[in-house]
Amino acid sequence: MRADAQAMIREGYRQSLAGTKGSLVDRDAMVHQAALRAQALDVADDGLVFGRLDLATLEVRYIGRIGVRTSEHDSLVIDWRAPAAEDFYRATPEDPRGVVRRRVLHSRGHTVVDLEDDLLDPDAADGMTVVGDGAFLASLARTREGAMRDIVATIQREQDEVIRAPADGTILVRGAPGTGKTAVALHRVAYLLFRHRRRFGSRGVLVVGPNRRFTAYIERVLPSLGEGSATLRSLGDLVESVTATVHDPPRLARIKGAETMATVLRRAVTDHPPGAPDQLRVVFKGVVVTLDRPRLDRIRNEVHRRSRGSVNAARGRAADLLLDALWRRFTDVGGPDAAESAEGAETALWNAILAEDGLASLDEEPTRENGEPKRTRFEARVREQRAFTDFLIAWWPIRRPLDVLRSLADPSRLRRAAARDLDTTDIEHVAASWSGNSPLTYQDIALLDELDSLLGSPPRPRTTAPADDDPFVVDGVNILTGEEVVDETWEPEMRELTTSIERLERSRRVDDGVVEERPEYAHIVVDEAQDLSPMQWRMLGRRGRHASWTIVEDPAQSAWEDLDAARRAMETALGGPRPRSRRKPTPQRPRHEYELTTNYRNSTEIAAVSARVLAMALPDASPARAVRTSGIDPQIRLIAPPDLATTARAAAEELLTQVEGTIGIIVPMPPDDEPTQTTLFDTPPEPAAWTAPDHLAEGLPDRVQVLNVLEAKGLEFDAAVIVAPETVAAQSPRGLRVLYVAVSRATQYLTILTTEEAFLKSLGGDPPGRSG
Ligand SMILES: Nc1ncnc2c1ncn2[C@@H]1O[C@H](COP(=O)(O)OP(=O)(O)OP(=O)(O)O)[C@@H](O)[C@H]1O
């Protein structure tokens, strides 16, 4: 099969020698397909076959990462996503589905190093050998190398049901930490691309995770399954040309993430842009016509009211309404008469000069039409004036989302946009967060996307007429679009030489970040969906108006406070395009909900501690069942606040000698200037260890990472050190849920360093005196 793929690549290149246009297209398509195939075959080569089914019919099936056939098309290995492989994941002793023995093969390269059998139908076994040493549990205990691995060989039945769930509508998957939600979502992407390649391959699949650490953590899974075509993005990377890698403190995040911000931003884009002139002054036939600020503001409102769409595209309408108002002003101030006498005087002067030279006199140009001066002439003359075009560019600038956001760092501007939707302290807090060079946050990205959808692309030129005839072309630049206008009659073959990339570059030059088309996807996977704010749901909704969705979440881990509002925003995002008429509601899209119940990450010892935190956060919730016992008890220690940092570091150093894989030191969020929330526990101590988290791991190997609780979402480590859990719990009303995330990251070792005795007891730690 590899040789075939290589031959196809060669054949593709050979075809291009035909030299026709079509042959180049064929070459690209053929070489692309063959290269993908060759790549998938290379990737699948390691551990190609991982399963074997012995059926009651005596048939033997091998299950692998990809399907393999002989040149006669006889099946040697069945792709794990094919229907014939389903029994491998679904058969149980209660429902053997015709399977007598299921065997999992573990290989390194081309060598089988381990086997594990399940006898599903002992009555039919008839002398079959059965081997097994708990390879599945051993695979769960393996060392973490910092990147997630695929689980094709050990997908469990309840997980398989999610992976193979119907491709339409929405799949909602819930489960406690470590139940494999992320793993399952990624395998589902591979499944969808395999079974519905045409549908999902062409319009694309988007996988969204909470942050870059997370996307880096999972990025190898799909390629290892031979799927390189899905787009993987963090919530900070969804908008072109901007990136966020920091979180807002909880209170700011709450304000910026609420749906009210959509209204605030809508008002912001209709406000007078910074630096816009307050007066328009043009001269026609010696008559000065001006529009002052109140009139201009009314016109601006009218443009917004009428255009209701993209603000940038409305510049043409703005020009029309300005001209209209100027004309009305012109007639109000008695301009037509003045203009007529000015024009009459001008013609008379010329005629006198011409007569002196014995030349024919000028025709009297009719200034009136049906008794009125010609409005069209007025407009044409005004449009040509620099005073008008310069005004238009400054008064209705083509705006970029980032400029609008930064302009709201001015509290008075934000106050106008906020109206009564934000209170005074919120306004100051939010405005300050956008000032100067303050870094963009995850919530800001959703706001920029909202602004982008409000501002839209600049308008396309109205006509393809030569530049000379277009009133909006000034000095070779279309003032509506900012685009350079090339004379189309000049060297037409030059157009053949511009590539699409160049054209794209040119269109981008108009205004970076505005012209970019927002991509839409055929399927969107949202991981850690419980944390999305309503504004983030709106951002995703715009990318999936025709998409089907896989939503993966654990409400118990949610840092987002108003889950109901987030739910409503999610429903809108999933609902697809708005119905054209109210009477015709959009048909309800199918929805399937699943629950994953087994915790494959934590040892039972660590799961017991996280269950205690869960009980504090949500007394009614039930934890997932952990399946692996390690014999290693978590350490929960009472530490004096000044010693937190040194103890955390010492704990990490000790863990370095105990585990071969990754160690996470998980600290609270950076301190915020707002007052902390009251919780079950005393006021947290002064921030100490986590204010300069980089120092905690200075000089330690890379496998030790320091990260704050929100950055730890979705990740896992062999060992975790949780610093100041009481502060995590106190930092927001959802603090205990955030802590639940932190304590459920480790696979083997968990060390918790608290400064509060009450906390120590609640987590089941040793009383003081007995602990270090
Ligand atoms: N069937 C399985 N076989 C082997 N390992 C598995 C299986 N299912 C899950 N795992 C492993 O369990 C760990 C947790 O999985 P995953 O990160 O997908 O859980 P999660 O539910 O997304 O957790 P969280 O809610 O904390 O993000 C991973 O290391 C994953 O590889």
pLDDT digit string, tens, across residues 191-242:
999 999 888 887 899 999 999 999 999 998 998 888 888 999 999 999 988 9
- For residue 741, the ligand 1 atom closest to its alpha carbon is 26
Q: Residue 601 C-alpha to ligand 1 middle, in angstroms?
A: 6
d(CA 655, CA 701): 12
432-436, 497-501, 590-594, 615-619: least confident range: 497-501
The confidence band for 102, taking pLDDT boundaries of 50, 70 and 90, is very high
Distance separating the N- and C-terminal Cα atoms of the chain: 61
**pLDDT: which is higher, 464 or 393:** 393
Q: Residue 182 C-alpha to ligand 1 middle, in angstroms?
A: 7
Q: What is the mean pLDDT of residues 91-105?
A: 91
150-164, 345-359, 558-572: least confident range: 345-359
Q: What percent of the chain has pLDDT over 90?
A: 52
All residues at 6 or more sequence positions from 323 whose CB lies less than 8 Å from its CB, including other chains: 379, 382, 383
- For residue 153, the ligand 1 atom closest to its alpha carbon is 3
β-strand 473-474 against 477-478: which pairing, if any? antiparallel
The pLDDT of residue 480 is 61
- For residue 144, the ligand 1 atom closest to its alpha carbon is 29
Determine which residue's CA is closest to atom 16 belonging to ligand 1. 180
**pLDDT: which is higher, 770 or 257:** 257
Q: Which of 118, 151, 594, 606 to mutate to test the pocket of ligand 1 (most atoms within 8 A of CB)?
A: 151
The pLDDT of residue 28 is 80
The pLDDT of residue 489 is 44
Determine which residue's CA is closest to atom 9 belonging to ligand 1. 180
**pLDDT: which is higher, 359 or 711:** 711
d(CA 205, CA 190): 10
| pLDDT tens digits for range 20-32 | 666 777 778 888 8
Q: Residue 151 C-alpha to ligand 1 middle, in angstroms?
A: 9
> Minimal CA–CA distance to 221: which of 192, 193, 196, 184?
184
pLDDT at 727 over 70: yes
d(CA 574, CA 589): 9
| pLDDT tens digits for range 335-371 | 666 666 666 666 666 666 767 776 666 555 555 555 5
Q: Which residues of 24-42 are buried (b: 16+ CB within 10 A; e: fewer)?
A: eeebeebbeebebbbebbe
- Alpha-helical runs (H) found in 333-374: 335-356
- For residue 596, the ligand 1 atom closest to its alpha carbon is 21
Highest mean pLDDT among 11-20, 112-121, 252-261: 252-261
- Which two three-digit tokens encode residue 447? 């706001």
| pLDDT tens digits for range 16-60 | 776 666 677 777 888 888 888 888 888 888 889 999 999 999 999
DSSP state string for 657-680: HH-SS-EEEEEPPPP-SSPPPP-S
d(CA 606, CA 616): 16
| pLDDT tens digits for range 247-292 | 898 889 999 999 999 999 999 999 999 999 999 999 888 888 999 9
> Minimal CA–CA distance to 373: which of 400, 396, 341, 405?
341
Check residue 441 and report its DSSP letter: B
Largest CA distance in the chain: 126
231-235, 252-256, 422-426, 434-438: least confident range: 434-438
Contact 727, 742 (CB under 8 A): no
- Which two three-digit tokens encode residue 136? 């599945």
Highest mean pLDDT among 134-143, 479-488, 498-507, 618-627: 618-627
Q: Residue 558 C-alpha to ligand 1 middle, in angstroms?
A: 18
All residues at 6 or more sequence positions from 173 whose CB lies less than 8 Å from its CB, including other chains: 162, 181, 184, 185, 550, 551, 552, 553, 593, 594, 595, 596
Element (H, E) at 51: strand 49-55
Q: Residue 718 C-alpha to ligand 1 middle, in angstroms?
A: 13
All residues at 6 or more sequence positions from 672 whose CB lies less than 8 Å from its CB, including other chains: 249, 250, 251, 252, 731
d(CA 615, CA 297): 57
Angle between the N-to-C axes of helices 315-332 and 293-307, in degrees from 0 to 180, rounded to the nearest 10? 140
- For residue 159, the ligand 1 atom closest to its alpha carbon is 1
The pLDDT of residue 515 is 40
For 599, list phi and psi in degrees, rounded to 5.
-90, 110
Q: Which of 601, 606, 613, 737 to mutate to test the pocket of ligand 1 (most atoms within 8 A of CB)?
A: 601
Determine which residue's CA is closest to atom 14 belonging to ligand 1. 178
Q: Which of 160, 179, 745 to mutate to test the pocket of ligand 1 (most atoms within 8 A of CB)?
A: 179
Kindly tell me the number of DSSP H helices and DSSP E strands found in the chain: 30, 25
Q: Residue 186 C-alpha to ligand 1 middle, in angstroms?
A: 11
Between the alpha carbon of residue 360 and those of residues 182, 340, 348, 353, the distances in Å are 87, 22, 13, 10
Known binding residues for ATP: 175-182
Q: What is the mean pLDDT of residues 57-66?
A: 93
Q: Residue 409 C-alpha to ligand 1 middle, in angstroms?
A: 42
Determine which residue's CA is closest to atom 3 belonging to ligand 1. 154
Determine which residue's CA is closest to atom 26 belonging to ligand 1. 177
Q: What is the mean pLDDT of residues 476-505?
A: 45
pLDDT at 144 over 60: yes
Q: What percent of the chain has pLDDT over 70?
A: 80
Q: Residue 600 C-alpha to ligand 1 middle, in angstroms?
A: 6
Measured from CB, residues less than 6 Å from any atom of ligand 1 are: 139-140, 148, 151, 154-156, 159, 175, 177-183, 554, 600-601, 714, 716, 744
The pLDDT of residue 345 is 65
Number of Cβ within 10 Å of residue 2's Cβ equals: 11
Q: State the SS3 of 190-219.
A: HHHHHHCHHHHHHHCEEEEECCHHHHHHHC
414-418, 702-706, 765-769: least confident range: 765-769
- For residue 528, the ligand 1 atom closest to its alpha carbon is 27
Q: Residue 214 C-alpha to ligand 1 middle, in angstroms?
A: 13
> Minimal CA–CA distance to 561: which of 239, 349, 235, 255?
255
Q: Residue 236 C-alpha to ligand 1 middle, in angstroms?
A: 23
The pLDDT of residue 50 is 92
pLDDT at 505 over 50: no
Q: Residue 220 C-alpha to ligand 1 middle, in angstroms?
A: 14
> Minimal CA–CA distance to 445: which of 670, 735, 208, 693?
208
d(CA 269, CA 313): 13
Mean pLDDT for all residues in the chain: 83
The pLDDT of residue 687 is 47
Known binding residues: 175-182
The confidence band for 508, taking pLDDT boundaries of 50, 70 and 90, is very low
Determine which residue's CA is closest to atom 1 belonging to ligand 1. 155
Q: What is the mean pLDDT of residues 537-560?
A: 93
The pLDDT of residue 229 is 84
Determine which residue's CA is closest to atom 25 belonging to ligand 1. 177
pLDDT at 672 over 90: no
Determine which residue's CA is closest to atom 30 belonging to ligand 1. 180
Determine which residue's CA is closest to atom 8 belonging to ligand 1. 180
Between the alpha carbon of residue 691 and those of residues 307, 667, 668, 670, 740, the distances in Å are 49, 9, 9, 6, 21
Helix (H/G/I), strand (E/B), else coil: 241: coil
Determine which residue's CA is closest to atom 15 belonging to ligand 1. 180
ipTM confidence score: 0.99
